[in-house]
Amino acid sequence: MLKVKHLGSTALLVEFRQNIDLKINKKVYYLDHLIQSKNLEGIIYTIPAFCSLTVGYDPGKISYFVLSEFIKALAKENLDEDKNFNIDGNTHIIPVCYDERFATDIEVVMKQTGLGSKEIIELHISKEYTVLMTGFLPGFVYLGKVPSRLHCRRKLSPELKVAAGSVGLAGSQTGIYPFESPGGWQIIGRTPVKTLELSEGNNFLFKGGDKVKFKPISFESFEQMKIANR
Amino acid sequence: MTSGTLRFINGGMFTVIQDSGREGYRQFGIPSGGFLDRKTAGFANRLLGKPTGSALIEITLLGPEFIVSGSLYIALCGPPCEVYLNGVEAEMNKPLALHDGDIIKIGRVKSGCRVYLAFSGEPEIPEWLGSSSAASIISSLATPWAIIKKGYELNLRNTDLKKSDNETSNALTEITFPAIIRAIPGPEFDCFLKKDIRKFFKMEHEVLKDSNRMGVRLKSSIVPNNKKNMISSGVVPGTIQITENGLPILLLADAQTTGGYLRIANVIEEDLDRCAQLRPGEQFLIKLNEFED
């Protein structure tokens, strides 16, 4: 069911069926949770992704062989198809302003999907999304899955500057830019919420498996919340 | 209690504070970071009697210039590099005592890519997620204190020299040419044809100019036979990924934590320090090791 591969001499890769799928992704986070809860000596970090889990280890403390056998056994015992793999997660309501001042790529999305801007917003807020992965940038969350009518392509060449809080679409996912950075997603709105806190304390708003729902807000409320969040 | 300050007149090309990095946040997309050539950085710290993971200054290709106030010790370690104390050539790889008004000018790194400047005492540098290290892509927001430019001041307390570690012989990263970097097959190794693989692991790879702490870009290529529907997945320092155009990128400590390119191979841990010393224009070989458990 799953494959274990070398990712260098101090990490291994656990590969699930290669598909962006909520059920498979749940298993990734469940396996991650199981591995963490066993507190095995020699494990240094994990990187959960859509349908894979990277495990970093200290070969001085645990060998590739022992660790991979341990993980395979853990998966065999616990990742049964019929089981419920829920881990405790939070549900976040994220306000988004879809005003044209922020929706810089709405025209492209309209062209690619054949939908009007109103329909695009309605579809985007129609679903509760799951945090499938954090990556590409510190704190950048990949949320899925987006209704298939809303799927659109990533930009061929990324923009040099995408504003902090920008909400974008790419394939079956929607994501939020945690800070101003380069990026290639099609931007349809902006949230005033800080998803990555740089000062000490609780730095990351989202963790893997959390649920996210978007709530449309006006430009005026965006401005007010932006000031309040400063 | 002695103390000292370094006042930078010039920041050099790319001069940053680094320590052993931040671990435990990769699941949030935060790379571990930390000094790229860990062996050399550890050596520099130990020369001044400090723990190997202590914060120091990482210098890339062209060094900074600073004036000292108070008194303190430094140790500049790594491949040969121009360094002057008040205009007179100074020695590398040993502790140097500095006093009020001394000026240190670090020039060109003559071979290799990075040298490490350790200092005695405790620096007044903030931390982000448990580390003082500059964090490439988010550095100007999260770790602005870790980027050294003209006007930067580094305050040090308690700058007396601790007893130096004597077991420091031959602890620099060895730099020979051409570098032979050992790697083991990566998860997408089988997406390439055997004959292309053979060629790739025999050819010389030239380091491109736009390399940085996130990755070393190579002027070589290998075209995948099977592009595979690659879904973003974990990458680590040492991962050699092949872009859609067939261009290799060797990831370093500040690389993103997930990527969507084919992972042809991964450099073994022991050879990562040498990767940190790959210099733009340099040619090197990647040798494939079969993994032994």
pLDDT in tens, B263-287: 999 999 999 999 999 999 999 999 9
Instruction: Say what the pLDDT of residue B166 is.
Output: 58
Helices marked H in chain B — which ranges? 38-47, 139-142, 194-200, 272-276
Give yes or no for residue B293 having a pLDDT over 50.
no
Q: Give the residue on B whose Cα is nearest the Cα of A18.
A: B231
Instruction: Say what the pLDDT of residue B229 is.
Output: 75
- Tens digits of residue pLDDT in A45-100: 999 999 999 999 999 999 999 999 999 999 999 987 767 777 789 999 999 999 99
Q: What is the mean pLDDT of chain B?
A: 94
Mean pLDDT, range A12-19, rounded to an integer: 97
Give yes or no for residue B290 having a pLDDT over 80.
no
Q: Cα–Cα distance between A228 and A184 in angstroms, integer?
A: 29
Q: Which of B22-36, B165-179, B231-245 has the lowest mean pLDDT?
A: B165-179
Which tokens in the block code for residue B99? 């006093």
Q: B6 phi and psi, to 5 degrees?
A: -105, 120
Whether A198 and chain B come into contact, CB under 8 Å, resolves to yes
Instruction: Say what the pLDDT of residue A222 is.
Output: 97
Give yes or no for residue A186 having a pLDDT over 70.
yes
Neighbours of B119 (CB within 10 A): 24
Q: Which of A111-125, B51-65, B151-165 has the lowest mean pLDDT?
A: B151-165
Q: Which domains does chain B have, with CATH numbers?
A: 3-157 (no CATH), 180-288 (2.40.100.10)
Give yes or no for residue B171 having a pLDDT over 60.
yes
> Mutate which of A4, A6, A198 to disrupt the B interface (most B C-beta within 10 Å)?
A6
Neighbours of A203 (CB within 10 A): 18
Instruction: Say what the pLDDT of residue A80 is.
Output: 79
Give yes or no for residue B123 having a pLDDT over 60.
yes
Instruction: Say what the pLDDT of residue B162 is.
Output: 83
Burial B161-177 (b: 16+ CB within 10 A, else e): beeebeebeebbbebee
Neighbours of B256 (CB within 10 A): 21
Strand order from edge to edge, sheet including A52-57? A3-6, A11-15, A52-57, A43-48
Give yes or no for residue B157 having a pLDDT over 90.
yes
On chain A, the residues whose CB falls within 8 A of the CB of B257 are: 47, 135
DSSP string, B65-90: EEEEEE-EEEEEESS-EEEEETTEE-
Instruction: Say what the pLDDT of residue B121 is.
Output: 97
Q: pLDDT class for B1, splitting at 50, 70, 90?
A: confident
Report the sign of the C-alpha dihedral through residues B87, B89, B93, B96, in that order: negative
- Tell which A residues from 28 to 67 touch B, by Cβ distance under 8 Å: 32, 44-54, 56, 59, 63-65
**Measured between CA atoms, how close is A103 to chain B, in angstroms?**
24
Q: How wide is the angle at C-alpha A213 spanned by C-alphas A182 and A14, nearest 5°? A: 65
Nearest CA to B256 among B279, B229, B233? B233
Q: Which domains does chain A have, with CATH numbers?
A: 3-78 (3.30.1360.40), 91-228 (2.40.100.10)
Q: Do A136 and B267 touch (CB under 8 A)?
A: no
Stated pTM of the model:
0.95
Q: What ipTM was assigned to the predicted interfaces of this complex? A: 0.95
**Measured between CA atoms, how close is B273 to chain A, in angstroms?**
14
Q: Do A11 and B234 touch (CB under 8 A)?
A: yes
DSSP state of A150: G
- Tens digits of residue pLDDT in B93-117: 999 999 999 999 999 999 999 999 9
Give yes or no for residue B291 having a pLDDT over 60.
no
Q: Do A46 and B27 touch (CB under 8 A)?
A: yes
Give yes or no for residue A202 having a pLDDT over 90.
no
